[in-house]
C-alpha cells in the first residue's frame, strides 16, 4: 500500500511521549503506527462497553459456581 503524507499538529507533550515510547524507532514511525493503535483502543473500548455486558459473563460465572458447589467441587 502506498504511503501518503499527512500534516499533523500536536502538543509538545505528545512529542515527548512519542519520543519516550519510540525506544529504538523514530517519532515518524510512532506517528505512522498511532492511528492503528487508536483504532485498536477504540475497538477494545467498544467491545468492553457493549459486547461484554451483553454476554452476561458474571451471570454465567455465578451459574458455574453454584453448579460446582452443588456437585461438591
User: Measured on CA atoms in the order 23, 29, 35, 37, is the torsion positive or negative?
Assistant: negative
Q: Is the pLDDT of residue 62 over 80?
A: yes
**Span 51-69, mean pLDDT?**
85
Instruction: Answer yes or no: are the C-beta atoms of 15 and 26 closer than 8 Å.
Output: no
Question: Residue 23 has what DSSP assignment?
Answer: B
What is the average pLDDT across 26-44?
73
- SS3 at position 25: strand
Tell me if the pTM is above 0.95: no
Residue 23 has φ and ψ, to the nearest 5°, of: 40, 70
Amino acid at each position: 500500500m502506498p504511503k501518503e503524507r499527512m500534516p499533523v499538529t500536536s502538543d509538545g507533550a505528545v512529542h515527548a511521549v512519542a519520543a519516550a515510547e519510540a525506544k529504538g524507532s523514530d517519532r515518524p514511525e510512532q506517528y505512522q503506527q498511532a492511528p492503528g493503535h487508536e483504532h485498536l483502543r477504540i475497538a477494545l473500548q467498544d467491545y468492553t462497553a457493549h459486547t461484554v455486558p451483553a454476554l452476561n459473563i458474571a451471570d454465567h460465572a455465578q451459574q458455574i459456581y453454584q453448579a460446582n458447589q452443588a456437585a461438591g467441587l
